[in-house]
Amino acid sequence: MGAPLALIRELDSTISHASDLRRAAMLRHLTDLYLLGAEEFSDDEIDIVDDVFVRLVATIEESSRALLSIRIAGVAKAPPKVLRMLACDDAIEVASPVLSQSEPLDIETLVVCAAGKSQEHLLAISRRKSLPEAVTDVLVERGDPQIVLSTARNPGARFSSKGFGLLVKRSHGNDELASCVGARADLPPQLFEQLLAAASQTVRAKLEAEREHARDDISRAVSEVSEQIASRAAITRSPAFAAAQIVVESLDKAKQLSVAKLDDFAKAGRFEEIVAALALMANIPAEVVERTVNDTNAESVLVLAKAVELPWETTRNIIALAARRYRRSMADVEKAMASFQRLRPSTAQQILDFHRTRKRPSSRTQ
């Protein structure tokens, strides 16, 4: 950190003697400095910066605090002390960005704010990307109808049995809230029945229809997944795979199993050869490779490909082959390239080591 750390200490020493305008300028400068280097700061360095932030925030006007809150709310390594200070600010313009957006903000602070701050503070909390049960319990109990509805609509909210019970109770006479609560897939069946019993005829008909459609969708999804599992499990036991293994092992013994050959297999749609080749190259069971290539999450393939040092184009061709085979979208494949470039081969090897310890010794020619 060097020079920036020296500057921070200099800022710290001049805070008490600075004017309001000077402190606001110092805060902007410190924020710029932190946003530029946050990812490189150690925990000890962040603690030093955090203390300076706290001293500055305690002396500046509301508009400057609000600007800091907006700028720091989305920072993954935001200083924790100043985050708590901003979240607990009585001015909603200051507290709202941090309460609604800051992921590093601790649960204890959220609970404290939900239990003691204004309804505007609670509304900001209800809009967070994720809400644990300890927070939703307070929001549902203390919040006004708008806050309760916002919390119930939040797909990232999780509710305890107590929280769901309060939601159902507060849904009585409120068709909008009853419809929202009843549509939640995580609402326990017995509470859904209680909700229906007290709901209006309009809400009851709507919820019953939605539940029936959901059951049909789930049945179809389970059937499709079962068919896919049966199909995929058969691949490594099929005659085609046995033949593919012979081809791949022959290529390996002849020193002809290469990246170019994998490209040829992928472009020709020879899935069994791809599985057999990757299993041999990575020294892991073919069943593991099969599951990895079939995984809807492309990152599983990225790990395998990086471990055997495949280039991105070959990796992409393998993912594309699996996508065509199982009729999956290719929309997110290009997005995976950035993750592939960041992934270290050593990290990928460590992941594969786990699978290697669970298989018999490889017979691959060295």
Sequence-distant (6+) residues with CB within 8 A of 350 are none
Going by pLDDT thresholds of 50, 70 and 90, the confidence category of residue 15 is: low
Q: Which residues pair with 131 in a beta bridge?
A: 157
Going by pLDDT thresholds of 50, 70 and 90, the confidence category of residue 217 is: very low
- Average pLDDT of span 134-145: 96
Going by pLDDT thresholds of 50, 70 and 90, the confidence category of residue 12 is: low
Could you tell me if 283 and 335 are in contact, meaning their C-beta atoms sit under 8 angstroms apart? no
Q: CA-CA distance, 97 to 128, in Å (whole number)?
A: 10
Outline where DSSP puts E strands in the chain.
none
How confident is the model over 76-96, as pLDDT tens digits? 889 999 999 999 999 999 999
Sequence-distant (6+) residues with CB within 8 A of 15 are 23, 26, 52, 55, 56, 59
pLDDT at 229: 45
- Average pLDDT of span 318-330: 70
Closest by Cα among 118, 111, 64, 44 to 84 = 111
76 against 351, higher pLDDT: 76
Residue indicated by tokens 């079962």: 226
Q: CA-CA distance, 46 to 43, in Å (whole number)?
A: 5
59 against 161, higher pLDDT: 161
Judged against a pLDDT cut of 50, whether residue 143 lies above it is answered with yes
pLDDT at 298: 64
Residue indicated by tokens 């993750």: 339
Q: Which helix (H) or strand (E) holds 52?
A: helix 43-57
Could you tell me if 253 and 285 are in contact, meaning their C-beta atoms sit under 8 angstroms apart? no
pLDDT at 263: 86
Judged against a pLDDT cut of 50, whether residue 365 lies above it is answered with no
For residue 328, the tally of other CB atoms under 10 A from its CB is 16
**In the numeric block, which tokens belong to residue 64?**
């400057």
Amino acid type, 37: G
pLDDT at 326: 62
Q: CA-CA distance, 210 to 197, in Å (whole number)?
A: 16
- Average pLDDT of span 322-334: 64
- Average pLDDT of span 347-366: 55
What per-residue string of b and e applies to 292-308 under the rule 16 or more CB within 10 Å gives b?
bbbeeebebbbbbbbbb
Going by pLDDT thresholds of 50, 70 and 90, the confidence category of residue 159 is: very high
Q: CA-CA distance, 18 to 31, in Å (whole number)?
A: 17
- Average pLDDT of span 256-284: 87
pLDDT at 307: 83
Q: Give me the chain's average pLDDT, please.
A: 81
Judged against a pLDDT cut of 60, whether residue 251 lies above it is answered with yes
Phi, psi of 170 (to 5 degrees): -75, -10
Judged against a pLDDT cut of 50, whether residue 226 lies above it is answered with no
Q: Identify the DSSP state of 200.
A: -
Helix (H, G, I), strand (E, B) or coil at 279: helix
Sequence-distant (6+) residues with CB within 8 A of 88 are 95, 109, 112, 113, 117
Judged against a pLDDT cut of 50, whether residue 362 lies above it is answered with no
- Average pLDDT of span 100-109: 95
Q: CA-CA distance, 352 to 267, in Å (whole number)?
A: 26
pLDDT at 332: 57
Q: What angle do CA 160, 164, 166 make, to 5 degrees?
A: 115
Judged against a pLDDT cut of 60, whether residue 360 lies above it is answered with no
Amino acid type, 31: T
pLDDT at 120: 96
pLDDT at 236: 59
H helix and E strand count, the chain: 22, 0
